[in-house]
């Protein structure tokens, strides 16, 4: 995937995805940190970019036959939204254990929701593809999806051309692959650093060992950052290998403290997955290159009870030591 693919995707997502601004953070010290608030997208996450790009690439026959996605998370709603926007039928396969609110929200976007046993999701999705001749839109393992997510990186490079560090969460790796590709092409001096929960740090291990490792799903499921439990595919791993300078890991407490901080200081409702990159800036600045940082807030679909609980944490949770970025502002 090249910068040209991402530029073409930018033309396609315009008017469907929100052109999010970079938000300067005076509380972090002048000229130190900017946030890319992808939680403000219509479905609450960057996923709309990839979904829209994939839907916009369908030919007329494919549009008539519709699209299929299997996901219980932000990708499902993104595909439903992008399909409805384009007047294309969407079949979303969700586990019958998914929260009712997610099922309702996906239906409210006009999609047909197919509830199945979790173990059958993939099989049912492929049967729908076969039955309808529909196109499967995967959550990250597809060049159109990666290029779509990369439009966020294009915007970062446009808005802050002298950015020095871009922090981006890593799960399946679609966002990090796309953003990294755009930033490295346009800001060759910038470092692109992935962020993972310690409890789901498979991509970090893969990058360090030079080959994809597999963490058992039960192990990855431990993190509160439910959007960061997936693993890269061969396609995204190849991209991550090429575009990431490093991956930093964050603890569960750091993720929740960053969720609180984003609400208190940046007035953004982030889901834990969306707060992970900012947690790396807050608590792992010693592992980051120096300079102007952009942190991608990837999503905001958080259970209100989790947010209310996180808000009870004073300031930013674990008290920062001297020299910590936040100690001056306290």
- 132 is an interface residue for a second copy by CB under 8 A: no
Rounded to a whole number of angstroms, the minimum distance from the CB of residue 157 to a second copy is 17
Site for a second copy, residues 39 to 98, rule: CB under 8 A: 39-40, 42-44, 81, 84
Rounded to a whole number of angstroms, the minimum distance from the CB of residue 160 to a second copy is 11
298 is known as an active-site residue:
yes
| Number of residues counted as binding a second copy (CB under 8 A) | 42
Q: Do 57 and 144 contact (CB within 8 A), yes or no?
A: yes
Among 104-112, 146-154, 189-197, 199-207, the segment contacting a second copy (CB under 8 A): 104-112
117, two tokens: 């046993």
Site for a second copy, residues 217 to 276, rule: CB under 8 A: 260, 263-264, 266-270
289-304: burial string, b at 16+ Cβ within 10 Å, e else: eeeebbbbbbbbbbee
Instruction: Tally Cβ neighbours within 10 Å of residue 42.
Output: 16
Distance CA 220, CA 134 (A): 31
Distance CA 148, CA 144 (A): 6
| Closer residue to a second copy, CB minimum distance, 181 or 301 | 301
Element (H, E) at 86: helix 74-86
| Closer residue to a second copy, CB minimum distance, 7 or 264 | 264
CA distances from 127 to 31, 73, 185 (A): 52, 21, 39
Q: What SS3 state is found at 146?
A: helix
Residues in the chain: 330
- 312 is an interface residue for a second copy by CB under 8 A: yes
- 311 is an interface residue for a second copy by CB under 8 A: yes
Among 62-70, 88-96, 282-290, 299-307, the segment contacting a second copy (CB under 8 A): 299-307
Identify the residue whose tokens are 């936040």.
326
Rounded to a whole number of angstroms, the minimum distance from the CB of residue 265 to a second copy is 9
- 14 is an interface residue for a second copy by CB under 8 A: no
Distance CA 318, CA 114 (A): 43
Among 135-143, 162-170, 276-284, 307-315, the segment contacting a second copy (CB under 8 A): 307-315
| Closer residue to a second copy, CB minimum distance, 88 or 125 | 88
Among 55-63, 87-95, 130-138, 302-310, the segment contacting a second copy (CB under 8 A): 302-310
Distance CA 255, CA 288 (A): 17
206 is known as an active-site residue:
no
Question: How many Cα atoms within 13 Å fall on the side-chain side of residue 106?
Answer: 30
Q: Do 202 and 171 contact (CB within 8 A), yes or no?
A: no
| Closer residue to a second copy, CB minimum distance, 149 or 301 | 301
Footprint of a second copy on this chain (CB under 8 A)? Answer: 18-27, 30, 37, 39-40, 42-44, 81, 84, 104-105, 108-109, 260, 263-264, 266-270, 300-301, 304-305, 307-308, 311-312, 328-330
Catalytic residues: 47, 298
């Amino acid at each position: 995937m090249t910068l040209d693919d991402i530029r073409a995707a930018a033309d396609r997502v315009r008017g469907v995805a929100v052109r999010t601004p970079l938000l300067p953070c005076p509380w972090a010290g002048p000229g130190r940190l900017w946030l890319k608030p992808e939680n403000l997208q219509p479905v609450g996450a960057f996923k709309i970019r990839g979904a829209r790009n994939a839907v916009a690439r369908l030919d007329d026959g494919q549009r008539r036959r519709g699209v299929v996605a299997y996901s219980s998370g932000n990708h499902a709603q993104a595909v439903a939204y992008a399909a409805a926007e384009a007047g294309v039928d969407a079949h979303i396969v969700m586990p019958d254990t998914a929260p009712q609110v997610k099922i309702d929200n996906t239906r409210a976007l006009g999609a047909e929701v197919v509830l199945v046993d979790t173990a059958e999701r993939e099989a049912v999705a492929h049967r729908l593809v076969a039955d309808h001749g529909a196109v499967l839109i995967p959550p990250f393992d597809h060049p159109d999806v990666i290029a779509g997510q990369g439009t966020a990186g294009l915007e970062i490079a446009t808005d802050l051309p002298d950015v020095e560090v871009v922090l981006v969460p890593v799960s399946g790796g679609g966002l990090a692959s796309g953003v990294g590709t755009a930033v490295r092409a346009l800001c060759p001096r910038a470092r692109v650093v992935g962020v993972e929960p310690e409890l789901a740090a498979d991509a970090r291990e893969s990058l360090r060992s030079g080959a994809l490792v597999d963490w058992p799903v039960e192990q990855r499921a431990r993190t509160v950052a439910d959007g960061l439990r997936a693993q890269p595919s061969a396609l995204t791993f190849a991209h991550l290998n090429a575009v990431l300078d490093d991956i930093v890991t964050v603890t569960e407490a750091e993720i929740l403290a960053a969720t609180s901080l984003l609400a208190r200081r940046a007035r953004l409702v982030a889901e834990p997955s969306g707060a992970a990159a900012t947690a790396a800036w807050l608590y792992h600045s010693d592992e980051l290159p120096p300079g102007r940082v952009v942190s991608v807030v990837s999503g905001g679909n958080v259970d209100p009870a989790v947010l209310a609980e996180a808000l009870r944490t004073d300031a930013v949770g674990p008290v920062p030591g001297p020299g910590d970025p936040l100690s001056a502002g306290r």
